[in-house]
């Protein structure tokens, strides 16, 4: 494979499936050697196989981003296997520990710590151990996956909303700190992306629900992992050499359109489908 990332080495956390999996494929298509870091080794190995079938290079390391030692080890592993590190895409998070979370009155301090450890602390630790290697390579790029939920808040989902907002602030701070080293740090704010997991758990038995959400977007569709992967490739490439500290919104226009009846329709839909876990 040859492309705009020829000769580069990338790490993608949570790269076995979903947005991370799509990003692995696109980075490899553009010539990067990719280390897939995931707690789900079987899925990660399947993704690496997909890359190799297309002529690309990918390896796998088991990593739990809630553990500092795992984060430090995955950086070292990338350098050990490929000789350098140029790109880090921080995508992994654990839905079970960082979803929703209720209000300030309902969230436990333990729940708060667990969620922030995944959503925010893992990205700080990633930078802590990636920056020295990126600096040795003469610079590089970090891409942090935030969300439209980092820009627009939703009631009853404090942990996710606050965590994703903090990712954007962390991204800007890192950009200020390390720009002098040739290290650019940006974030991506996806809208509703229909990953394999979401398709199976949320929309498989409720196609009308997916159609409802698609209708809220100016482009009249929800997102696909490749939509975010394309943004990650751009931000990691030299084409974005003058972009840092930016939160790139990739949401089909969701956050730019004021929809007067959206909240009313949402409540109505939720009442009609009480067992459905809505993504917003």
The residues carrying an active-site annotation are 160
Tokens of 120: 């925010």
Q: Report the half-sphere exposure of 167 (CA within 13 A, side-chain side).
A: 37
Alpha-carbon span 136 to 165, nearest angstrom: 30
Alpha-carbon span 57 to 126, nearest angstrom: 22
Q: Give the C-alpha distances (Å, rounded to integers) separating 113 from 29, 85, 110, 121.
A: 37, 30, 5, 10
């Amino acid at each position: 494979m040859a492309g705009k990332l020829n000769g580069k080495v990338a790490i993608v956390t949570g790269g076995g499936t979903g947005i991370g999996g799509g990003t692995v494929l696109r980075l490899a298509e553009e010539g990067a050697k990719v280390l897939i870091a995931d707690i789900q080794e079987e899925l990660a190995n399947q993704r690496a196989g997909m890359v190799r079938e297309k002529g690309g290079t990918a390896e796998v390391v088991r990593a739990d981003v809630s553990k500092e030692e795992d984060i430090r080890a995955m950086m070292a592993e990338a350098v050990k296997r490929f000789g350098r590190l140029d790109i880090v895409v921080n995508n992994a998070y654990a839905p079970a520990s960082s979803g929703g979370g209720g209000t300030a009155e309902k969230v436990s301090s333990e729940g708060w710590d667990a969620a922030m450890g995944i959503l925010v602390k893992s990205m700080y630790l990633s930078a802590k151990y990636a920056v020295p290697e990126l600096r040795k390579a003469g610079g590089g790029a970090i891409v942090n996956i935030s969300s439209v939920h980092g820009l627009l808040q939703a009631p009853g989902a404090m942990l996710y909303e606050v965590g994703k907002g903090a990712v954007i602030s962390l991204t800007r701070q890192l950009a200020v700190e390390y720009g002098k080293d040739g290290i650019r740090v940006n974030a991506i704010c996806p809208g509703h992306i229909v990953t394999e997991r979401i398709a199976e758990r949320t929309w498989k038995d409720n196609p009308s629900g997916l159609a409802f959400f698609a209708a809220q977007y100016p482009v009249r569709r929800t997102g696909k992992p490749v939509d975010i992967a394309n943004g990650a490739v751009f931000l990691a490439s030299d084409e974005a050499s003058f972009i840092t500290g930016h939160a790139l919104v990739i949401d089909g226009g969701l956050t730019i359109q004021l929809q007067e009846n959206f909240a009313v329709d949402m409540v109505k839909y939720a009442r009609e489908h009480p067992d459905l876990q809505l993504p917003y």
